[in-house]
Structure 1
Amino acid sequence: MKCNCEKEKIDLKRLNPDIEGDASEVIEEEIQEIIEDGKLADIKLYDNLIFPEGLEKVGETPWMNEQNVFPDILKKHMAPKDKLGYLIVKKGELEFVWEDEKGKVYTVDAKHPLIIYPERYHHVILKGPVELKIKFYKFDVDRVKDMSALRPGEEFIKK
């Protein structure tokens, strides 16, 4: 079988690392431009992780909405140490961003809750009317903790 590569001519973008920087930086910029241009507006990404069984519930937030959401949830923060968060939306939807996953925005709605692992920076984006709650479960992780991280969960867990 003969290759027909010459017939299908594809223009490749050549990158000069001295001018454009690392290829990963260029790719990241292109992804960000796509997001900002709204080209991914209709594409939703869901967290399909399975909630671990047998965890002890240690608290939860009250039901919140776009009017009374705790402001720190909308800022870059970490879940409380040794606590796993379970983000539930009753009405509407919101967006969730892991700070270390640039270019990915997860949609959370009534059919798609999200697991929030401790010691990982993230923030929530409200796009309209929504009702949400975060339940917290004891979760032991054997790793170094960032003790300087903002953990608003410590302050608003009902015990």
Structure 2
Amino acid sequence: MTRDPFQQLVKYSETAVFSETTVPKKLLNRHNTKPGIWGKLVVRSGALDFVLEGPPLKARRIEAGDYAIIEPATDHHVSLVGPATFQVEFYREISGGKR
């Protein structure tokens, strides 16, 4: 079982909910988060592929109700496989004991 890093992090931002027609092109191409910033790719409906750039490329199908953990500074992209809605939540380390 994968450890859930979000229990030790604080959410500080999130994107709008995107669909297959509103997803920004940059999410469909190689990109990453800043060092120290974690992402949580949350699929609300449908499904999409979360792809770690590698090498080798590693794709994981994420379905409605599930999420992918985006580690800091890790190259990745999403690949649409049909109608879907999703958003990305951003987290950072808890500083000074505050959440």
State TM-score, norm by structure 1: 0.54
1:85, CA displacement in angstroms? Answer: 0.1
CA distance in 2, matches of 1:60, 1:96: 17
Contact 1:59–1:135, Cα closer than 8 Å, also in 2? yes
For the aligned residues, what is the CA RMSD? Answer: 1.8
Give the letter for the 1:80 counterpart.
K
Unpaired stretches in structure 1, ≥5 consecutive residues: 1-47, 141-159
Q: Which residue of 1 aligns with 2:89?
A: 135
Provide the residue aligned with 1:51 in structure 2.
Answer: 4
Higher helix share: 1
Match of 1:71 in 2: 25
Letter in 2 for 1:137: Y
Contact 1:49–1:115 (Cα < 8 Å) also in 2? no
Does 1 or 2 have the higher relative contact order (CA < 8 Å, sep 6+)?
2
Name the CA distance, whole Å, in 1 between partners of 2:57 and 2:73: 20
Choose which of 28, 32, 52 in structure 2 pairs with 1:98.
52
The CA deviation string for residues 51-97 of structure 1, in whole angstroms up to 9 with x for no partner, is 22131111000100001111111000111332100010010000011
For 1:137 and 1:110, the matched residues in 2 are separated by 21
Q: Distance in 2 between matches of 1:57 and 1:115?
A: 13
1:8 alignment partner in structure 2 = none
* Unaligned stretches of 5+ residues in structure 2: 95-99
Q: Higher strand fraction: Structure 1 or Structure 2?
A: 2
Q: TM-score, normalised by structure 2?
A: 0.84
| Residue 98 of structure 1: how far off its partner (Å) | 0.7
Residue in structure 1 matched with residue 64 of structure 2 by the alignment: 110
Of 62, 72, 78, 2:16 maps to 62
Retained in 2: the 8 A contact 1:66–1:128?
yes
The one-letter amino acid of 1:116's match is I
Tell me the distance in 1 between the aligned counterparts of 2:3 and 2:63.
16
* Partner amino acid, structure 1, of 2:37: K
